[in-house]
Amino acid sequence: MKRYSVAVLPGDGIGPEIMHEAMKVLKAVGKKAGVEFAATEALVGGSSIDAHGVPLTDEVLKLTLSSDAVMLGAVGGTKWEGLDYSIRPERALLALRKELGLFANVRPARIYKDLIDASTLKPEVIDGVDLVVIRELTGGLYFGTPKGVEKLPDGTERGVNTMVYTTPEIERIAKVGFEVARKRRKKLCSVDKANVLETTELWRKVVIKIGQDYPDVELSHMYVDNCAMQLVRNPKQFDVIVTENTFGDILSDEASMLTGSIGMLPSASLGATKNRAMYEPIHGSAPDIAGKGIANPIATILSVAMMLKYSFDMEDASVAIEAAVEKVLNKGYRTADIYQPGTKKASCSEMGEAVLKEL
């Protein structure tokens, strides 16, 4: 029997509730496919601060480094907001990204027919949207040097950030873009600002070069300002978008809001090798509804589907989970965040059970 180890870090707030449902789904899928998922649960974020004084212990870091994949719920909450930045719950995420070498953030945004009214855009614009934004996570404007604020002789100040990318950094994110596109509709749009920024001129050149190894994927290029506009004008044109860190930060949030429902969106952060990957919902720990049993577990369940696809090459099982979610929505089950009159209000665990039943 095949065996994969998964480090499970539920985190804070609604994290444990949603992760509980997602793990039930993972177990069921494993049973069906004859694969053993050895899940080891551990504390991260605020819950780790309460128990150990730090958001990520060396032991938990070791667990994540020795696992085949990491599943994360969410971290943070008002309780820990007064703490020094160096030991805030969110530091755990930054440390995990750094130590696992996660450089590609993969965020799908898909419209479910039954939730089309949740979007602020017209149904005819978003019906059928199914796209992925891949954001480079470790370079670009957020990390380039020189950076900082300096005092000038005349008493004014000067702020500097630098957009930096090397050829290997662009090559590896481009490869992720082409690989993800290959598993989908085989269209990759590389987003840059090559008409103004030399860094992204290099980006475009390198992406084109890598594209020669992927003749089956149709490559196009778009300037970031046009992409921001096209995402709301005609989002159906996109399959996979790959872009720089800052551009990706903005575009992935824009793309996710096409769907209008934060509790539905999964994400993956991928590293250089198959066993370096972390999967998590895009939403936070939702302290306002934690402990009430009303959180939407679908984003976390769909994160499991992404893990099966990207870490374990279990495409069929991944698609089965996505189809089960679609059926459950079609049958009218809704957690409070996506509830509309005329549908069936479900708790977090009822939603998890409903997905399980469809599997």
Catalytic site includes residue 112: no
Does 108 interact with ligand NAD (rule: CB under 6 A)?
A: no
- Nearest 5°: CA angle at 359, between 126 and 262? 35
Does 325 interact with ligand NAD (rule: CB under 6 A)?
A: no
Residue 18 or 306: the one with the smaller Cβ distance to ligand NAD is 18
Using the structure block, give the residue that is written with the tokens 């978003």: 126
Does 263 interact with ligand NAD (rule: CB under 6 A)?
A: yes
Distances (CA, A) of 171 to 55, 243, 311, 354: 33, 12, 20, 42
Catalytic site includes residue 213: no
Nearest distance from C-beta of residue 76 to ligand NAD, angstroms: 3
Does 44 interact with ligand NAD (rule: CB under 6 A)?
A: no
Query: Which residues between 266 and 295 bind ligand NAD (CB under 6 A)?
Result: 280, 283-289, 295
- Token pair, residue 121, equals 């855009």
Residue 76 or 271: the one with the smaller Cβ distance to ligand NAD is 76
Catalytic site includes residue 12: no
Report which of 168, 130, 163, 121 is spatially closest to residue 248, judged by C-alpha positions.
163
Nearest distance from C-beta of residue 8 to ligand NAD, angstroms: 14
Residue 190 or 285: the one with the smaller Cβ distance to ligand NAD is 285
Residue 93 or 241: the one with the smaller Cβ distance to ligand NAD is 93
Length of the chain: 359
The binding track of 77-96 with respect to ligand NAD, each residue x by CB under 6 A or -, is: x------------x--x---
Catalytic site includes residue 193: yes
User: Among positive and negative, which fits the CA dihedral 193, 194, 196, 197?
Assistant: positive
- Active-site option among 117, 127, 213, 225: 225
The Cα–Cα gap between 34 and 40 comes to 19
- Active-site option among 192, 214, 249, 279: 249
- Token pair, residue 279, equals 């999967």
DSSP state letters, 42-73: ---THHHHHHHSSSS-HHHHHHHHHSSEEEEE
Report which of 207, 255, 206, 205 is spatially closest to residue 229, judged by C-alpha positions.
255
Active site residues: 142, 193, 225, 249, 253
Q: Kindly list the residues in this chain that would bind ligand NAD in the complex (CB under 6 A).
A: 14, 18, 74-77, 90, 93, 262-263, 280, 283-289, 295-296, 299, 337
